[in-house]
Amino acid sequence: MSAIIIYIIIGIAGGIIGGMGMGGGTLLIPLLTLFTSAEQHLAQSVNLIAFIPMSVVALGIHIKNKLVDFKYFWWISVPAVITSAIGAFFVKDVQSKVLKICFGAFLIALGVLQLIFIVVDIVKKYKKIKKNNQNDFSKGTNYVKIYKTIFLGEKYMQNTFKHGIHPDGKKYLSENAEIESFPDPQFVYIPVQQHSGPPSEPVVTIGEKVKAGQLIAKAQGRGCNVFASIAGVVKGIEKRPTATGKCDHIIIENDFSGDRQFFTKLVDPSREEIIERVTEAGIVGMGGAGFPVGAKLKTDNKIKTFIINGAECEPYITCDYRLMVEHPEEIIKGSLYLAKAVNAENVVIAVEDNKPKGIDSLNGVLSSGKYPNVEVRALKTKYPQGDAKKLIYSVTGYKISATRRSNEFGVLVNNIHTAFSVYTAIEGLPSYSRVMTVTGEAINNPKNLIVPNGTLFSDLIDFCGGNNGAVEIISGGPMTGFGVLSDKIATTKTTGCLLLLPRKEAWLDKPGPCINCGRCARACPSLLMPMYIDLYYKNGNLDLAEKYGALHCIECGSCAFVCPAKRPLVASIKQAKAKLKERSKKK
């Protein structure tokens, strides 16, 4: 009896070890079948009781981790377990050597068959890794990652990055608010600078009547076209404040005629037609960067993977999430247009795993089989997962420095809303409105709204039930957004959120001295030491600020978020970067 107990314990231990992954677990069972089961039956030295609990435990772990392929267990392991159980109690009493040999041969055949299945599975996984660009095979293979992916299962893929933080998302305030259309306001104040690059040049005059969708400011250089967001009369062109400075605004008074101007719908457009339409429609990166998408698509580098950024890791914001839930097919079609424009081999829509409805909605469309080259990848929820280079690392494993571009590695990234806007542009709609979130504990009715560009923040606040004691208004999210001094700022193509914070949520305390705790360094996803960059910049030593990586900062705000002294580390590093760039231009 004591020997049986020992065998059961050994079997459970083997099952736990073997059940940790698809490859490892399924490989251990046939190995024991080959080298333990068969030999011990033939030698009549011990019975196979250990094999039964090992198989059951391994199967349970596989099912729990969703790593099991039942063809291994129903067709191979289950017969092996049953046969072993019979053999454990009866074979030792059989005197016929022929029967013993036949029984051992049967077990060996089961093991060999299962090994064949495993080899086929490994080959399929290896091809999948290569197809999905998990590793850059032309620049050296990451064998550790291949091992983890093949032998430890899909659950153990990268899907995250080093360091980072976990702020309270507060997405519950608006995540269930369906997208509504904001009524066209009496006036819009449309900035001619809604993108990275030079301001657009106005092409309308005061007193001119315009339609919604009509070009009112033409792109200059690597700029972007700007369109009227309502029908009406141009009342003036004046310099007004924005969330980040000042620029000219074209003021249009609504005539409420509802007149609109569209492009011709494109049917099965070519690569060149997609790029031309995206450029003509004035589409920019709508996740906040504002880089003209048409310029990004004009790359000479071979693109393997086009990543659609659905992380939306910034707290409070839910506009991309609602687009995923309500318009999944439009996003997928827009993603494929983007991929076609650069001849990308496949599309990965990367979504944080705290958005299961969005993931299910996209996968529901993909389940039809109409879009075989599109994959939805669930990423670990962590800030700043949505940063382009952190996202690329999470999806592909590439580490891209501040001096390199992602297209050099065969990867491009665009935002969920950008993909949606590309789809609507192909359908004929210029970029003059967007979905944005109006939220925060100091807004009475948080909403997700389709808003015409140039709408004043004050109009949005009134539509959402009014200001309920806000002490801080932020254009964007709390981590990377811009605090504004007035609600008379107008929305742009990149305004994804209007956030109103009460006193308890706002960071208004005066900063204290650095206590050298090192929390900022432990949080920094770029593996920098923000406290030293801040120190040396404020001491006037730009050389040491640069040495400690000021130019590599992604300005995510993780360092300032965890700082117990509430030091404005991001602001300090931004100033250091600006000084360094200015100095480099003078050289």
Model pLDDT, residue 16: 47
Instruction: Give the pLDDT of residue 288.
Output: 77
Distance separating alpha carbons of residues 334 and 418, to the nearest angstrom: 8
- For the four alpha carbons of 576, 578, 581 and 583, in that order, the dihedral sign comes to negative
Tell me the C-alpha distance between 333 and 136, whole Å: 26
- Show the domains of the chain with their CATH numbers: 2-156 (no CATH), 168-508 (3.40.50.11540), 519-586 (no CATH)
Minimal CA–CA distance to 527: which of 551, 564, 553? 553
Cα angle, residue 391 at apex, residues 389 and 397 outer, rounded to 5°: 85
The token duo for 452 is 């015409």
Report the sign of the C-alpha dihedral through residues 117, 120, 124, 126, in that order: positive
With a CB cutoff of 8 Å and minimum separation 6, the contacts of 128 are none
Tens digits of per-residue pLDDT, 227-282?
Answer: 999 999 999 999 999 988 899 999 999 999 999 999 999 999 999 999 999 999 99
Q: Give which of 384, 309, 352 is closest to 557, Cα–Cα.
A: 384
pLDDT higher at 167 or 53: 167
What is the CB neighbour count within 10 angstroms for residue 83? 20
Which pair of structure tokens corresponds to residue 444? 């009475």
If pLDDT is split at 50, 70 and 90, which confidence band does 136 have?
very low
Residue 510 DSSP label: P
Q: Which of 311, 567, 315, 312 is nearest to 441 (CA)?
A: 315
pLDDT of residue 118 exceeding 90: no
Amino acid, single-letter form, for residue 490: A
- C-alpha distance from residue 536 to each of 533, 542, 586 (Å): 5, 7, 21
pLDDT digits (tens, 9 = 90+) for 504-520: 888 777 899 999 999 99
Using 50, 70 and 90 to split pLDDT, how confident is the model at 48? Answer: very low
The C-alpha angle with vertex 337 and arms to 332 and 340, in degrees rounded to 5, equals: 125
**Can you tell me whether residue 436 is helix, strand or coil?**
strand
Global pTM reads: 0.75
Nearest to 388 by CA among 404, 369, 365, 366: 404
Task: Report the pLDDT value the prediction gives residue 21, as an integer from 0 to 100.
Answer: 38
Mean pLDDT score across all residues of the chain? 81
- 248 burial via Cβ count (<10 Å: 0-12, 13-18, 19+): middle
3-state secondary structure of 57: helix
pLDDT tens-digit readout, 472-506: 999 999 999 999 989 999 999 999 999 999 998 88
Closest by alpha carbon to 225, among 187, 278, 275?
278
Q: Would the pLDDT of 65 be above 60?
A: no
Q: Which of 57-61, 237-241, 397-401 has the highest mean pLDDT?
A: 237-241
Q: What percent of the chain has pLDDT over 70?
A: 73
- pLDDT of amino acid 396: 87
Residue 311 · residue 390 · CB < 8 Å: no
pLDDT tens by residue, 269-315:
999 999 999 999 999 999 877 889 999 999 888 999 999 999 999 99
Where are the strands (E) in 89-186, listed by range?
A: 179-181
Look up tokens 């979130």; give the residue.
437
Whole-angstrom Cα distance, residue 243 to residue 480? 12
**Residue 305 is which amino acid?**
T
Q: What is the pLDDT of residues 144-153, one digit of tens each?
A: 454 444 444 4
Could you tell me where the beta strands, DSSP code E, fall in 49-141? Answer: none
Q: Which residues pair with 191 in a beta bridge?
A: 249
Token pair 């891209």 in the structure block, residue: 400
Q: Name which residue leads in pLDDT, 77 or 336.
A: 336
Strands (E), 446-587: 447-452, 472-475, 482-484, 497-501
- pLDDT at residue 139 tops 70: no
**Do 191 and 492 contact (CB within 8 A), yes or no?**
yes
How crowded is residue 139: how many other Cβ atoms within 10 Å of its Cβ? 10
3 state SS of 184:
coil
Given a cut of 50, whether residue 449 has pLDDT beyond it is: yes
Rounded Cα distance, 168 and 132, in Å: 32
